[in-house]
Amino acid sequence: MDSSGYSFDRKFLRKYDSVIELKNGSSRVLLVPAYQGRVMTSSCNGDSGYSSGWINYSLIHSGKYQEHINPYGGEERLWLAPEGGQYSFFFAKGVPFDFEHWFTPKEFDTVPFHVEKVSDTSALFSRNMVLKNRSGNVFIIHIDRKITILNNNAIQQESNVIIPNGVKVVAYESTNTITNSGKFAWTRQTGAPAIWLLGMMKPSPSTTIVLPVRTNPSDTTTQFHDTYFGKIPADRWKVEPNIAFLKADGKFRGKVGIPPGHATDFIGSYDSAAHLLTVLQYVSPEFNKEFVNSTWEEQKYPFLGDVFNAYNDGPLKDGSQLGPFYELESLSPAAFLSPGQSLAHSQITYHFQGNPALLNQIAQKLLGTSLQKIETAF
């Protein structure tokens, strides 16, 4: 059985946990409630299709918990930001901002989500959680998470792309709602959570992340934040007018972000060996809102963060590695909510696979660049 295939991954995951499979035609989306209702993988060609998500087989097989994070994999999971700064949920008060002191809260790392409702095409999950941020404020939170597989009509309506013959596609929408279930308002003084959706994908020497930006003559702020974990070498990170490229080979740890003043509706990646074009769409962006800052430092501007992030995994200082994988990520605005109020954030993940000439048309439409330019970026 092909270990890069969807049916292999479904069989593997069923050995260890219950799974939910969403179907529409030849499209498949595989969810695991125990891993916070995350999308583990998907296929655009049924059981025989390529499996799009990165899965950490060895960690799942071990049945053991890791100290800092349990990177089970999965091409779309829910976290809460910010990661760094004085309002961080990942760093305790007073500790240095380094990996040794970075810990993923169990509420969105190892604690299962509840299954509320399942159909052939959607699944609804929920969870109550209590989180303390670095500043010592305790947040009582309710989360609703719904994953819906899209049919071709919905795909064409949402993306404004007509799917040509010779291209297969799987797409799903992730709709997540956070509610303030506590007794105090979440403000700029207390810190505020944000919905953070992250997708672990398979890295390869033939894969490049694509980050379009829009130019706003009246906005002179930086188009990219690209020093999260230090400077990224020029042979891995290239910025051009209206677009940037990040190598996604899983061999160098680097993270970049696009702030709201420059974000478009889309980011993506292309694996030229698998002829796989992945696109992430931010649904109904609210770019006039403030976004949390996740940089690993005490921040002067904690609400000047990013709409999109991209991450390429690589070795840590001690030589160990979480993956390898790469990630495409989106964030909601900061949830400045009074008790009882809610904020929702949605994104759509598309995987297009097939004839490169046809994929090129989709890339130009959604990402504003050609496959040739992506393939020759590095």
Q: How far apart are CA 131 and CA 198, in angstroms?
A: 19
* pLDDT for residue 288: 62
Q: Domains in the chain, ordered, with CATH?
A: 6-375 (2.70.98.10)
Q: Which residues pair with 280 in a beta bridge?
A: 267, 349
1: pLDDT strictly greater than 60: no
* pLDDT for residue 24: 96
Nearest Cα to Cα of residue 126 among 36, 7, 49: 36
DSSP code string of 179-214: EE-SSS---TTT---EEEEEEEE---TTEEEEEEB-
Q: Could you tell me if 181 and 341 are in contact, meaning their C-beta atoms sit under 8 angstroms apart?
A: no
Residues 171-210 pLDDT 10s = 999 999 999 999 999 999 999 999 999 999 999 999 999 9
Q: Could you tell me if 330 and 292 are in contact, meaning their C-beta atoms sit under 8 angstroms apart?
A: no
325: pLDDT strictly greater than 90: yes
219: pLDDT strictly greater than 80: no
Alpha-carbon distances of 277 from 102, 283, 312, rounded to whole Å: 33, 19, 17
* pLDDT for residue 215: 83
Contacts with 108 (C-beta within 8 Å, 6 or more apart), sequence order: 36, 77, 78, 79, 80, 129
* pLDDT, the chain, mean: 95
pTM score? 0.95
Residue environment code for 38-62, b if the CB has 16+ CB neighbours within 10 A, otherwise e: bbbbbbbbeeebbbbbbbbeebbee
Residues 137-182 pLDDT 10s = 999 999 999 999 999 999 999 999 999 999 999 999 999 999 999 9
* pLDDT for residue 285: 67
Residues 85-140 pLDDT 10s = 999 999 999 999 999 999 999 999 999 999 999 999 999 999 999 999 999 999 99
Q: How far apart are CA 208 and CA 270, in angstroms?
A: 6
Q: Please identify which residue in the block is written with the tokens 């991450």.
A: 311
H or E element, residue 310: strand 308-312
287: pLDDT strictly greater than 70: no
* pLDDT for residue 338: 97
3: pLDDT strictly greater than 70: no
Residues 23-46 pLDDT 10s = 999 999 999 999 999 999 999 999
Residues 71-82 pLDDT 10s = 999 999 999 999
- 335: which DSSP letter? -
* pLDDT for residue 213: 95
